[in-house]
Amino acid sequence: MRSILPVVTVVLIIVALWYAAAVRLNAPWVYDQAERAGAPAPGFGQLLGETMDQERPVLPTPHQVVTELVKSTFGMAVSSKRSLVYHGWVTISATLLGFAMGTGLGILLAVGIIHNRAMDLSVMPWAIASQTIPILAIAPMIIVVLNSIGVQGLIPKAIISAFLSFFPVLVGMVKGLRSPDQMQLDLLATYGASKRETFWKLRLPSSMPYLFTSLKVGIAASLVGAIVGELPTGAVAGLGARLLSGSYYGQTVQIWAALFAAALVAAVLVMAVGVIEGRVLRRMGMVR
């Protein structure tokens, strides 16, 4: 547990810098108020007091964000429209569906690429091109187009998620499925193994470490996709909606709380993939 001290030190430094920045950035409002009231310019002590708990600060202080986060996570009924659990779940469900779709698509394309020369030569440039499109530009189109054919709600967001998450899985799986060396392929050839047997018995198991590395990137990308997908929808639910409504009404504390909620969700999702990775690879005897 010797690593605790450096971690705590870094966190404390970040929190201290954050408070300092909050005082600096929220001060103009305090001066402004004093001037309007005709009062003398506030001293440092007063300034410190009045920058800590503003209703609409430029930069909310850490304790404001934490209080808001706790209040809107634990202090509300989970069905409430002001509950972060409610909004978080909306985003997580789109993330998970999109992640499943993206992972499936990525694996399918990778399998096609390693077995079919035409796909090998043609798919990758398109996949790379797809990732150069700014997701913020294409997300509203996807929502609008799907809405016009009657698809709404979870699916369009999941598709945007999948659009972001298929790529790391595709790249990782192409690499992973090609990871067996020539000797291992020759060995199977001496048994007269078919392509299908080579795939199931050698290529797929060999690709597992690559798959899980990609999945960790993919699930974080999925979450970004789901949040971005919530921004242009007129925003009724989800962490993205929470961010958007916060910015409409100048609720900076709400924005920051939603951002932290998103970061926590991302951390939990990536850790969950990590736990599954550890279990699977240990089961397969690939970690000691």
Partner 1 sequence: MKDNLNISAPVIEAKGLNLVFQTSDGPVHALKDVNLTINKGDFVSFIGPSGCGKTTFLRSIAALEHPTGGTLTVNGMSPDEARRKRAYGYVFQAAGLYPWRTIAGNIKLPLEIMGFSRAEQDERVARVLDLVELAGFGKKFPWQLSGGMQQRASIARALAFDADILLMDEPFGALDEIVRDRLNEEVLKLWARTGKTIGFVTHSIPEAVYLSTKIVVMSPRPGRITDVIDSPLPKERPLDIRDSREFIEIAHRVREGLRAGHADD
Q: Which residues bind partner 1 (CB under 8 A)?
A: 183-184, 186-193, 197, 201-202, 205, 208, 284-286, 288
Quick one: tokens of 213?
């590395």
**Looking at beta carbons only, is 71 or 175 nearer to partner 1?**
175
**Least distance in Å: CB of 284 to partner 1?**
4
Helix (H, G, I), strand (E, B) or coil at 40: coil
**Least distance in Å: CB of 103 to partner 1?**
20
φ, ψ dihedrals at 29, nearest 5°: -65, -40
Helices (H), the chain: 4-37, 44-52, 62-74, 84-115, 117-132, 135-148, 154-177, 182-190, 195-198, 204-230, 239-248, 252-283
CB–CB of 259/245 below 8 Å? Answer: no
**Looking at beta carbons only, is 125 or 285 nearer to partner 1?**
285
**Least distance in Å: CB of 158 to partner 1?**
32
**Least distance in Å: CB of 197 to partner 1?**
5
**Looking at beta carbons only, is 158 or 173 nearer to partner 1?**
173
**Looking at beta carbons only, is 83 or 198 nearer to partner 1?**
198
Helix (H, G, I), strand (E, B) or coil at 236: coil
